Amino acid sequence: MQALALILVLSLALVWRENATAGEYDFSIPEAEKKPYSLGGRLELRAIDHRLDEEAARTHLSYYRDDPGSSTREYHPAAELNAAYTSGLVQAKLLTHHEFSMNEAGDEWINEVYEGYLSLTPSANVTLEAGKKVILWGKGYAWNPVGFVNRPKDPDDPGLSQEGYVQVGLDLIKSLTGGALNNVGLTALALPVVGDWANPDLGEPGDVNAAVKLYLLWHDTDIDLIVFGGAEQPQGYGLDFSRNLAENFELHGELAWQHGVRRTTLDEKGRVTTTEENPLSYLLGLRYLTAVDTTYIVEYYHNGAGYSEEELGRFFTYQGNAWQEWLESGEAAAMEQAIQRTAPYYRQRNFGTDYLYLKASQKEPWDILYFSPWIAAVVNLHDGSFNLQPGLTYTPVT
């Protein structure tokens, strides 16, 4: 299924400040007093037009009862509110997401707390944090193989805000002089599973997952070494890097190996096989900025846990058999069973093995302030299928 989407984003950031006034006989202009709090917001409207391949297996599964024709549309007006308060060594942050989703399946209100945490900074080199916070590990733009504790990105729109995980964390940073190694940092996280409200997708209640990241700035190259594990989670080991080869040219990459990943496959008859594997995934990308402020991003991603062409062939054959049974008998049981059994595949945005991401964006064309049009594509390198998205962003700040 190919998708064409148009996304319009409007962002507003509001910060309250108190005007400074000079004394009656003091002609110097004092600095404005920095407020301990900030408030902000962001409005977004995403309008997506999906152009459907009416003979595709995914289309048959999704719309076997009702024929939507050659396209479907969905709309996602949303608002995000953020607040921060600082008092001495302590800072509190809050980010909430409010969305009204309208699509073929129906309308739905979504209200989530994306972030809500406290941080304590007893010194410039030490930070302690506790609460719900977004984790963004890895250097890739569309994918992050080493992001074992990240929420999966939507490659069609990687910049979307995401919900964080409940965690307790420690950050240490040290600057060095006189050698090739300039900075060293260590981040340690504990992510507990508490009932249905704290990290339920990371294991069973009572589990505590752990993640550690060692950061190095070595020979002007940012390097991260990452380890992750938990009772119900596969062990993960990752390496990423980012380096500016020139002022306007950046190269980045990621390498991730996991041990004990559960993997589900289907045969032509819908029989399910579950195995444990040790996939190796990697990403290589570049970012280039031209003299006229056009930014190009190119990334290649190999998904070690993805499905081979042979496995996908059996997967689609099973769906075709279920569709044929539905046409001949009119009984929905075969299709409902197929929907359930194919869910582990379709829960992954990209369940193949090799993908290419391309994006071009232009900053303020025709001198239109705060305006940036862009176009992006995700291409499956094996079957040639793709998603294409043009978009516009307008981000005034007052």
Nearest-angstrom CA–CA distance, 203 and 222: 32
Distance CA 190, CA 169 (A): 6
- Report pLDDT digits (tens) over 68-82: 777 888 899 999 999
Residue 255 lies in a domain: yes
Highest average pLDDT, of 251-260, 345-354, 369-378, comes from 251-260
List, in sequence order, every residue forming a beta bridge with 173; answer none if it has no partner.
185
* Total of domains in the chain: 1
- Residue 365 belongs to what domain range? 3-17+34-394
Three-state secondary-structure class, residue 365: helix
Residue 331 lies in a domain: yes
pLDDT value at residue 10 = 40
* Euclidean distance between CA atoms 138 and 135, whole angstroms: 10
In a domain, 250, yes or no: yes
Q: How many of the other CB atoms lie within 10 Å of CB of 221?
A: 13
**Paired residues of 285 in beta bridges:** 252, 299
User: Count of CB atoms within 10 A of residue 346's CB?
Assistant: 12
Please check whether residue 181 is in contact with residue 218, taking contact to mean a CB–CB distance below 8 angstroms: yes
Task: Identify which of 345, 272, 254 has the alpha carbon closest to the alpha carbon of residue 305.
Answer: 345
Backbone φ, ψ for residue 184 (5° rounding): -130, 135
Q: Is residue 29 part of a domain?
A: no
Amino acid occupying residue 84: A
- What pLDDT is attached to residue 297? 97
Give residues with Cβ within 8 angstroms of 30, minimum separation 6.
20, 22
Judge whether 214 lies within some domain. Answer: yes
Nearest residue to 259 via CA among 226, 234, 225 = 234
Give the pair of three-digit tokens for residue 296.
């190009």
User: Looking at the domain assignment, is residue 40 inside a domain?
Assistant: yes
Q: Is residue 22 part of a domain?
A: no
Average pLDDT over every residue of 31-56? 82
* Predicted pLDDT at 32: 64
Helix (H) or strand (E) holding 167: strand 165-175
- Could you report the per-residue pLDDT of 164-188, keeping only the tens digit for each? 999 999 999 999 988 899 999 999 9
Kindly report, residue by residue over 108-159, the tens digit of the pLDDT.
999 999 999 999 999 999 999 999 999 999 999 999 999 999 998 887 778 8
299: domain CATH number? Answer: 2.40.160
Rg, Å, the chain Cα set: 24
Point out the least confidently predicted range of 64-73, 141-150, 196-205, 330-339.
64-73
Where helices occur in 163-301 by DSSP H, the ranges are: none
269 neighbors 253 (Cβ within 8 angstroms): no
At 18 the pLDDT is 37
> In the chain, which residue ranges form alpha helices assigned H by DSSP?
57-62, 309-329, 333-346
- The whole-model pTM stands at 0.85
Among 88, 109, 114, residue whose Cα is nearest residue 99: 109
